[in-house]
A and B are shown apart, each in its own frame.
Chain A
């Protein structure tokens, strides 16, 4: 299952809306026809490049005849609108349909081929179409092309006369519609099948994806938009010329696609703006212009092959990282009194190999307990335990790297379960604690298991909540959890406000006066911590954790909420534990994913009993 919200709920909605609004008002700000002309070209190129990306970037199917399909749309428009006198408004979509038919013909030979052969066949195909076009000079005008094609008209008013404003909005309309369609296609079953075939062909086929049908559908869909763009282009420049088959135009569109970023929807659109405006800016330099464009393409691809859209993504990540890191630094001083009031103990900061770590230690010569919080939470999640248990136990809690008021870590090395366990060891060492009982919640549960399995620290007792012990990763992940859409948010880098509310609500508690602090804290979490934690699942030695649980030498308790929305309780019950407190996983009645927060009294009572047994009190 994949988390797939509608566009209006995603983080990209507002930026896209703003961009669209800017494009709508553009012709009122720039009233000269030249800048409108440029934007019309941008829209057309963006449609061609973005639709190409459906087969090239998403499908990994390098269809070099795509630009020829654009020309097919253009000639279709010319023949239908001029020679046969069809209404231009009908001739444009007809261009798309004819291009689709051609794409189906191209798809036929390349269904069996792969890699470079696809490139070669499609080039041959586009040459074939080109040769047919220039050899049929009485229909197509041969090498000189078709001229004086009819323009678009609306209610008898020709678009040629109104300073390109009619063409501008028509182009914008087609561009928006095609982008919306592509967006929908990419996220539909078809889009996923296309991507699946690219990433692992045989696996996808084994899962029932039909290669031939998917390729055909992807090529036809991308051809339709290219054909429509071609038809519109024909109506706009009123010429259908065979230049559109040339390597020059192919290079231009391909460079838009690659400079923007292949395999993304927005990349080619950004690329169309940049490359078109750039190439117009240096249009007066003759051969130098082509040399400069060629050099830019090479430089971008050699040094930054992801393209501009990848740069936008990295920029966004950098901004988010700076934001979370500044927020953490700022809160380290500002909200400190509030946090110390919640835990009733002083907060301290230590430096570890995994960055600055904030921890709280209630101190005293009592049996020590280490609390480890879960994904996108903070140590204050345990405020009710600190309030109720501090008289009997020494309570220690800390913020994981990238969480709470701890510093952000280095994603490659610091955001994974073994690294978190190392941080826990360092905190225990600083507090001078030798044999703690460890309680881990959710992600913290894995940290607790890992800490205990590493055996660097001798763990006296181990309790987990909201955590499924895993044996085979990632297979057991699917078995141990109920994949609700909220759980899938756990690995998402950026949250929209709705998503943040949904995740914090189901992970700790719905928004209320008591949980407001946890909700506020969620936004501070470094989004990379969520992503990398999942992508680095493989670095943990999961069987070692299971072996430890089977050995049963460490007193062990599972204290799940009975209403945990994420867990598959029967899987957890079915595992083999060497020894487990009360003989089976203990359910806190009415508890959710964070039973110690939802039902603190019941949890504390159970935890106290476990502590007494584990520490032999």
Chain B
């Protein structure tokens, strides 16, 4: 393996890592706040991509792209709130909320995917790249689109992280996540915070969809793979800190890129899932986790 190939694989791994980080962060926001696992997250990503595609068709160039991004974020925030109210809220006070919400979000994902199929049809589509053309660093050529994407993802993640860490609402969201009853007794508006967290998570998924749609083809069932990857990343890294799934995402992205290069495309997922099971046996709270959430 030459140094150039190494850099090439590295760049590919970073792009994957950035995408996974965005997907996993969205998933982790719901997990840490509500203690449940949202299986509709993949469908959210799909929906975000299609919304962005639909809106960006009407406008030309970058304006279309921004309009699409805005539509994806706003549309998905609303979708997330609706999903929370319809699929999770009814079981909030039930002891088996985890299992029930797994099945309702799975059903919700089925509905959303098939609705997308009905509206946009099964034919695959693609979003135009944000910026056309390629750039060359150290002899490695990648598309400018991918570089921009990594930068944007990092900016978005930093913004979300800062929101959760420093804003009053973000702080309240974290508080609700850790002790619902104490938060209620302190006068926080728990239902609103829950819905907000779900909406935030869905909006992040919408942005992820926007990026996925600009580098892969879009189909109504395109969300399954990102969902599995996000799941993998979240387990891998744990959710103890906001940053743990992000580190894990880059680790997974790089492992994936290098294992594709070395052991081949077919074996890569098996390597990833096998690795994840090893992590879970040795360290169930995740590689970067500090404690196990008592769900």
* A and B touching (Cβ–Cβ under 8 A): yes
Listed in ascending order, the chain A residues whose CB lies under 8 Å from chain B are: 56, 62, 108-109, 112-117, 119-121, 123-125, 127-128, 131-132, 134-135, 137, 246-248, 250-251, 254-255, 258, 262, 287-288, 290-291, 293-295, 297-298, 301-302, 305
B142 within 8 A of A: no
* A290 in contact with B103 given A120-B231, A247-B224 (CB within 8 Å): no
B274 and A128 within 8 A (CB): yes
Of residues 257 through 292 on chain B, the ones whose CB sits less than 8 Å from some CB of chain A are 266-267, 269-270, 273-274, 276-277, 280-281, 284, 292
User: How far is B43's CA from A406's CA once the two chains are assembled, in angstroms?
Assistant: 58
What is the chain A residue whose CB lies nearest that of B111? A294
Please choose the segment from B63-71, B87-95, B189-197 that sits at the chain A interface, where 4 or more of its residues have CB less than 8 A away: B87-95
A135 and B266 within 8 A (CB): yes
Determine which of A113, A290, A298, A305 lies in contact with B94 in the assembled complex, contact meaning CB atoms within 8 Å: A305
A132 and B86 within 8 A (CB): no
* A119 in contact with B102 given A108-B281, A109-B277, A112-B284 (CB within 8 Å): yes
User: How far is B295's CA from A617's CA once the two chains are assembled, in angstroms?
Assistant: 69
For residue B69, give the distance in angstroms from its CB to the closest CB of chain A: 27
What is the chain A residue whose CB lies nearest that of B31? A116
- Residue-wise, chain B 142-185 has the 8 Å CB interface mask toward A (1 for contact) of 00000000000000000000000000000000000000000000
List 15 additional A-B contacts (Cβ < 8 Å) besides A291-B115, A294-B107, A298-B87. A109-B277, A113-B284, A115-B98, A116-B37, A116-B295, A117-B295, A120-B235, A247-B106, A250-B106, A287-B115, A290-B114, A294-B114, A297-B104, A298-B107, A302-B90
B110 within 8 A of A: yes
Give the one of A108, A116, A251 with max B CB within 10 A: A116
A246 partner residues in chain B, CB cutoff 8 A: 224
Give the one of A114, A291, A293 with max B CB within 10 A: A291
B37 partner residues in chain A, CB cutoff 8 A: 116, 119-120
A288 and B118 within 8 A (CB): yes
B103 partner residues in chain A, CB cutoff 8 A: 251, 254-255, 258, 297, 301
For residue A252, give the distance in angstroms from its CB to the closest CB of chain B: 10
A124 and B269 within 8 A (CB): no
* A251 in contact with B110 given A297-B103, A298-B87 (CB within 8 Å): yes
User: How far is B86's CA from A128's CA once the two chains are assembled, in angstroms?
Assistant: 32
B106 and A128 within 8 A (CB): no
Of residues 27 through 43 on chain B, the ones whose CB sits less than 8 Å from some CB of chain A are 31, 35-37, 39
B99 within 8 A of A: yes
B111 and A124 within 8 A (CB): no
A131 partner residues in chain B, CB cutoff 8 A: 266-267, 269-270, 273
For residue B77, give the distance in angstroms from its CB to the closest CB of chain A: 21
B232 within 8 A of A: yes
Of residues 230 through 265 on chain B, the ones whose CB sits less than 8 Å from some CB of chain A are 231-232, 234-235
B228 within 8 A of A: yes
B111 partner residues in chain A, CB cutoff 8 A: 290-291, 294-295, 298
Of residues 8 through 53 on chain B, the ones whose CB sits less than 8 Å from some CB of chain A are 31, 35-37, 39
For residue B47, give the distance in angstroms from its CB to the closest CB of chain A: 14
What is the chain A residue whose CB lies nearest that of B106? A251
- The 7 residue pairs across chains A and B that have the minimum distance between CB atoms: A287-B114, A135-B266, A128-B273, A131-B270, A294-B107, A294-B111, A131-B269
User: How far is B274's CA from A137's CA once the two chains are assembled, in angstroms?
Assistant: 19
B277 and A62 within 8 A (CB): no
What is the chain A residue whose CB lies nearest that of B263? A135
User: How far is B111's CA from A324's CA once the two chains are assembled, in angstroms?
Assistant: 45
B234 partner residues in chain A, CB cutoff 8 A: 120
Determine which of A117, A262, A288, A298 lies in contact with B114 in the assembled complex, contact meaning CB atoms within 8 Å: A288
B277 and A128 within 8 A (CB): yes
B98 and A124 within 8 A (CB): no
Band of interface residues on B: 35 or more
User: How far is B270's CA from A134's CA once the two chains are assembled, in angstroms?
Assistant: 10
What is the chain B residue whose CB lies nearest that of A56? B99
B118 and A287 within 8 A (CB): yes
User: How far is B273's CA from A124's CA once the two chains are assembled, in angstroms?
Assistant: 6
- Residue-wise, chain B 126-145 has the 8 Å CB interface mask toward A (1 for contact) of 00000000000000000000
User: How far is B214's CA from A352's CA once the two chains are assembled, in angstroms?
Assistant: 74
For residue A45, give the distance in angstroms from its CB to the closest CB of chain B: 16
B100 partner residues in chain A, CB cutoff 8 A: 258, 301, 305
* A109 in contact with B281 given A295-B111, A301-B100 (CB within 8 Å): yes
B226 within 8 A of A: no
A298 and B118 within 8 A (CB): no
B108 within 8 A of A: yes
A128 and B270 within 8 A (CB): yes
* A294 in contact with B110 given A120-B37, A124-B276 (CB within 8 Å): yes
A298 and B104 within 8 A (CB): yes
B4 partner residues in chain A, CB cutoff 8 A: none
A135 partner residues in chain B, CB cutoff 8 A: 266-267, 270
User: How far is B267's CA from A374's CA once the two chains are assembled, in angstroms?
Assistant: 71
B102 partner residues in chain A, CB cutoff 8 A: 62, 119
For residue B10, give the distance in angstroms from its CB to the closest CB of chain A: 24
User: How far is B101's CA from A298's CA once the two chains are assembled, in angstroms?
Assistant: 10
A125 partner residues in chain B, CB cutoff 8 A: 273, 277
User: How far is B110's CA from A62's CA once the two chains are assembled, in angstroms?
Assistant: 20
B117 and A287 within 8 A (CB): yes
For residue A219, give the distance in angstroms from its CB to the closest CB of chain B: 15
A123 and B231 within 8 A (CB): yes
What is the chain A residue whose CB lies nearest that of B224? A247
User: How far is B117's CA from A134's CA once the two chains are assembled, in angstroms?
Assistant: 26
B231 partner residues in chain A, CB cutoff 8 A: 120, 123-124
A251 partner residues in chain B, CB cutoff 8 A: 103, 106-107, 110
B270 and A132 within 8 A (CB): yes
What is the chain B residue whose CB lies nearest that of A134? B266
User: How far is B39's CA from A248's CA once the two chains are assembled, in angstroms?
Assistant: 12
For residue A289, give the distance in angstroms from its CB to the closest CB of chain B: 8
What is the chain A residue whose CB lies nearest that of B110? A294
For residue B30, give the distance in angstroms from its CB to the closest CB of chain A: 12
What is the chain A residue whose CB lies nearest that of B232? A124
A127 partner residues in chain B, CB cutoff 8 A: 228, 269, 273
* A254 in contact with B106 given A134-B266, A288-B118 (CB within 8 Å): yes
Determine which of A62, A114, A132, A290 lies in contact with B99 in the assembled complex, contact meaning CB atoms within 8 Å: A62
Pick 25 A–B contacts, CB within 8 A, sort by A.
Answer: A109-B281, A116-B36, A119-B102, A121-B277, A123-B228, A127-B269, A127-B273, A128-B273, A135-B267, A135-B270, A251-B107, A251-B110, A254-B106, A258-B100, A262-B99, A290-B111, A291-B114, A291-B115, A291-B118, A297-B104, A298-B107, A301-B104, A302-B86, A302-B91, A305-B94
For residue B6, give the distance in angstroms from its CB to the closest CB of chain A: 25
B267 partner residues in chain A, CB cutoff 8 A: 131, 135
For residue A246, give the distance in angstroms from its CB to the closest CB of chain B: 8
What is the chain B residue whose CB lies nearest that of A109? B281
User: How far is B37's CA from A124's CA once the two chains are assembled, in angstroms?
Assistant: 14
B228 partner residues in chain A, CB cutoff 8 A: 123, 127
For residue A71, give the distance in angstroms from its CB to the closest CB of chain B: 15
A255 partner residues in chain B, CB cutoff 8 A: 103, 107
B273 partner residues in chain A, CB cutoff 8 A: 124-125, 127-128, 131
B109 partner residues in chain A, CB cutoff 8 A: 247
User: How far is B35's CA from A452's CA once the two chains are assembled, in angstroms?
Assistant: 51
B292 partner residues in chain A, CB cutoff 8 A: 117
For residue A263, give the distance in angstroms from its CB to the closest CB of chain B: 9
A124 and B107 within 8 A (CB): no
For residue A324, give the distance in angstroms from its CB to the closest CB of chain B: 31
A258 partner residues in chain B, CB cutoff 8 A: 100, 103
What is the chain A residue whose CB lies nearest that of B39? A247
B107 and A305 within 8 A (CB): no
A123 partner residues in chain B, CB cutoff 8 A: 228, 231
What is the chain B residue whose CB lies nearest that of A259? B103
A290 partner residues in chain B, CB cutoff 8 A: 110-111, 113-114
A121 and B280 within 8 A (CB): yes
